[in-house]
Structure 1
Amino acid sequence: MEYAKNILETIGNTPLIKINKITEELPCLVLAKYETFNPGNSVKDRMALKMIEDAEADGRLKPGGTIIEGTSGNTGMGLALAAIVKGYKCIFVLADKQSKEKCDILKAVGAQVIVCPTAVVPKDPRSYYSVSKRLAEETPNSWYVNQYDNPSNAKAHYESTGPEIWKQTDGKITHFVVGVGTGGT
């Protein structure tokens, strides 16, 4: 029988899909990596799992710990999915510009959500950056993910997305276009 032992085993190995209509005038094949096939509907599932696995491996994240992160939602969802399987608690700090639906879905998967004002500079103690850092300092047995400066963020794509694309194109990829964001895209 073929089946995934848990939801985390369904992350990655997403298909490449030919773009037809918007590229019909181009003299080349254009493909999209369909990352919404990941369980959290985002490319961020890859890096969320990688950051957790690396933090577990080097002892920054301990059994029963709390994962703390400032997120706009997609990284939070990836972290929450892994936390459910691995037995961690989550506290996510979001800016108030995020939709109610993003907050609600994170709460629905067991995360505590704290909303901070958008209209403050990152160093302001009320910003979602500052609040998440402070919570990590104050919360026993917690790990602050810090996706912006976490090397495992980009490493996830070096180890999974890149090799997948290379294999799927038989090494014939000539151009790659992506929005970089935190490095986890």
Structure 2
Amino acid sequence: MEILNDFLETLGDTPLVALRRYHPDGALLAAKIEFFNPGSSVKDRIGIAMIEAAERDGKLVPGMTIVEPTSGNTGLGLAIAAILRGYKLICTASEKISKEKVAMLEAHGAEVVICPVDVPADDPRSYTKVAERIRDQQGAFLPYQYFNQANPEAHYRGTGPEIWSQTDGRVTHWVAGIGTGGTISGVAKFLKERNPGVRVIGVDPVGSVYAHFQEHGRLPSPEELRVYLIDGIGQSYVPESYWPEYIDEVVTVDDPTAYRSVFELARTEAIFTGSSGGAAVFAARELARRLPAEALVVTLLPDSGERYLSKLNEEWLRERGLLDG
């Protein structure tokens, strides 16, 4: 009988889909559709990976609570693993998190603590510092995806080999958004070990730090940072889960471009992704347009636009100046 033992066994082996309507000419552009994972996002991969690593190291034992700062997707990945492994979960999130993600986390039994978005990472009110305080006060385990090497390693062991196999080793360019940096870094390391000629391009929101850091080797000044509306990527510091030595270039995408790309992709390919996926696929297409026909550009769509329906609508977008006219 083909009966799986639990929901986590559906993890991985997500489809790689050619985007010939979104990008009809020139180099082939393909997207790895990560909302085929059990929790409908790429972060399901690291949720179970970080829990298993902590269990192996004796840092997480039955009866403990897990606390994690998250934009929502990692929280749900952890929630699924926590349910099946018997842990309680608390998620701290910035107020930018969508209502749908909060509802999903709470439906899976997680407690959600909302924190201000426009404060520095070291501010005691930030969602990272609140998570650390809960860890200290409750003796909880903090996986801390931004500093946990099980994050990029999950993609080195899983996502990277899948892309290599699905393209028969023909992938020439890997383009992905940078949030924690785990997805782009783990895949990049694997692909470059197989073919050092593979080019790796990160995608960063305007107002984040990665593009400046990659070019100059240092963080931008605080005055150069600004709040952006793209969900799930970008950062105000460079976490340890980001491996810059495997990244060749980082490009920036602004909010209106990312959101327009979400709808263009949905209306050409019937693939509805979130704003981080919109940013990634736009940057990947811009690259593919400059490449010869024999090139193969692979990008990744981290999650579904269904997670953001309270944002991906005309009223919300128009109020924030993200629609033309």
State the Cα distance separating 1:2 from its structure 2 match: 1.3
What's the TM-score, normalizing by structure 1? 0.95
- Where do residues 102-117 of structure 1 align in structure 2 (5 Å cutoff)? 102-117=101-116
Specify the code of the residue in structure 1 equivalent to 2:150. Answer: S
Cα distance in 1 between the residues matched to 2:112 and 2:23 = 41
Cα distance in 2 between the residues matched to 1:172 and 1:71 = 34
State the Cα distance separating 1:157 from its structure 2 match: 0.3
Please say which of residues 114-123 and 66-75 is displaced more in the overlay. Answer: 114-123
Task: Provide the residue aligned with 2:18 in structure 1.
Answer: 18
Task: Provide the residue aligned with 1:157 in structure 2.
Answer: 155
SS at match of 1:126: coil
State the Cα distance separating 1:33 from its structure 2 match: 0.8
SS at match of 2:162: helix
- Where do residues 78-157 of structure 1 align in structure 2 (5 Å cutoff)? 78-140=77-139, 142-157=140-155
Bigger Rg, which one? 2
Cα distance in 2 between the residues matched to 1:113 and 1:145 = 16
Specify the code of the residue in structure 2 equivalent to 1:12. Answer: G
Specify the code of the residue in structure 1 equivalent to 2:168. Answer: D
SS at match of 1:43: coil
CA contact (8 A) 1:13 1:164 kept: yes
Deviations 1:21-53 (A, max 9, x none): 122122x32211111100111111111111111
CA contact (8 A) 1:43 1:184 kept: no
Specify the code of the residue in structure 2 equivalent to 1:10. Answer: T
Cα distance in 1 between the residues matched to 2:103 and 2:113 = 11
What residue ranges of structure 2 are gaps of 5+ in the alignment? 184-325
SS at match of 2:141: strand
Cα distance in 2 between the residues matched to 1:164 and 1:38 = 13
State the Cα distance separating 1:174 from its structure 2 match: 1.3
SS at match of 2:22: helix
Specify the code of the residue in structure 2 equivalent to 1:163. Answer: P
Specify the code of the residue in structure 1 equivalent to 2:115. Answer: C
Task: Provide the residue aligned with 2:9 in structure 1.
Answer: 9
State the Cα distance separating 1:98 from its structure 2 match: 1.4
Task: Provide the residue aligned with 2:52 in structure 1.
Answer: 53
Task: Provide the residue aligned with 1:174 in structure 2.
Answer: 172
SS at match of 1:24: coil
State the Cα distance separating 1:95 from its structure 2 match: 1.1
* Matched length: 183
Cα distance in 2 between the residues matched to 1:180 and 1:69 = 18
What's the TM-score, normalizing by structure 2? 0.55
State the Cα distance separating 1:161 from its structure 2 match: 0.5
SS at match of 2:105: helix
SS at match of 2:92: strand
Specify the code of the residue in structure 1 equivalent to 2:112. Answer: V
Cα distance in 1 between the residues matched to 2:178 and 2:119 = 24
State the Cα distance separating 1:162 from its structure 2 match: 0.6
Task: Provide the residue aligned with 1:77 in structure 2.
Answer: 76
Cα distance in 1 between the residues matched to 2:51 and 2:107 = 20
Specify the code of the residue in structure 2 equivalent to 1:6. Answer: D
Cα distance in 2 between the residues matched to 1:101 and 1:168 = 32
SS at match of 2:90: strand
SS at match of 2:48: helix
Cα distance in 2 between the residues matched to 1:58 and 1:86 = 16
CA contact (8 A) 1:44 1:184 kept: no
